[in-house]
Copies of this chain bind each other. A is one copy, B any other.
Amino acid sequence: MSVATVRCFVGDEAVASWPDDDRGLAYGDGLFETVRAHAGTLPWWPAHWQRLQRGAHALGFALPRRERVRAEAEALLDGEGGVLKLIVTRGGGGRGYAPSEGAAPYWRLSRHDAPPALPQAGLHLRWCELRLSLQPALAGIKHCNRLEQVMARAEWRDPDIHDGLLCSTEGDVVCATAANLFVLSDAGWITPAVDRCGIAGVCRDWAMQVLGAAETRVAVTDVEAAHAVFLCNAVRGILPVARLRDRSWRPHPQVLELQRRLAAEHPAFATEVS
């Protein structure tokens, strides 16, 4: 996926290049959002910004002005669709972990092509070996410390495997490397709680509300015994799961209906149902 264009900013100022003293590069001391765009607009922008605010509150640093970021994002999209990525870091600082007080945030926007369509029949998943560590202080937010996801995604190269499911060090199922997980159990739709690890996805929030899904601890056996399983994220929408180890699922009417509903609310995702 090529980087079409990148714009860098320090506080309110556009800058020609990313500053040398960035704490984002030094420590992953930042947050990011990947936002699906449609015809130059960002339909889920308010939800993305709210998560960014929760993250900035947790990490204790300032965000740039929302209106400025939105305006620069739309200027960068220039009427097109695709994916917009925003990174916001704590800004500059010396060597050493102590956060700088009142530093202007560094932020950058990049525009990317929309990802290629995935098979409508559903995804083929695997179980990852890597276990996610438990860190309540960082759980839920979309921060830039993502080595666990990088290492988990490096476990396979087979292009027919679309994503991998991750368990925590305590054995609960948490998410896929780049998506949240929903499981249709006998008791209804459930999704793993993200209060100790994992990310509170924007599409996850939407699906929880629509389905009335419960946040809970999810066991490997819950997934393998499920009536239906889907992944979701804010870039690809609702992704039915077709295979996992020796289990397979046909497209479930409730998942197909959820895809149709998302496409109706957010036309950017209409192509996923084609």
Residue numbers of A with Cβ under 8 A of B are 1-3, 6, 17-18, 20-30, 32, 34, 59-60, 83, 85, 87, 89-90, 94-99, 110, 112, 130-131, 133-135, 137-138, 143-154, 169, 177-178
In the complex, are the beta carbons of B137 and A27 less than 8 A apart? no
Picked from B28, B34, B60, the residue with its CB within 8 Å of the CB of A154 is: B60
B134 touches A29 (CB 8 A): no
Asked, given contacts A147-B27, A154-B60, whether A177 binds B97 with beta carbons under 8 Å apart, the answer is yes
| Contact partner, A28, options B17, B130, B147, Cβ 8 Å | B147
A16 to B76, CA, bound (A): 25
- A25 with B18, Cβ < 8 A, contacts A59-B147, A134-B169, A148-B135 known: yes
Q: Give the shortest distance, in Å, between A52 (CB) and chain B (any CB).
A: 15
Tell me, in angstroms, the Cα distance from A99 to B153 when the chains sit together: 8
- A87–B25 touching, CB < 8 Å: yes
In the assembled complex, the Cα of A29 lies from the Cα of B25 at a distance in Å of 9
- Are A147 and B150 in contact, with the CB atoms below 8 A? no
* 8 residue pairs bridging A and B, Cβ less than 8 Å apart: A23-B150, A25-B89, A27-B144, A27-B147, A28-B28, A97-B150, A137-B148, A144-B147
CA distance A130 to B60 in the complex (A): 14
Q: Are A134 and B133 in contact (CB under 8 A)?
A: yes
- With a CB–CB cut-off of 8 A, which chain B residues contact A152? 97
Q: Which residues of B contact A98 (CB under 8 A)?
A: 153-154
Decide: A144 near B26, CB < 8 A? Known: A85-B95, A98-B154, A153-B97: yes
> Given that A20-B3, A94-B3 are contacting pairs, would A99 and B150 also be in contact in the complex, using a CB cutoff of 8 Å?
yes
Distance A131 CA – B196 CA, assembled complex (angstroms): 12
A137→B110 contact, CB < 8 A: no
B134 engages A1 (CB within 8 Å): no
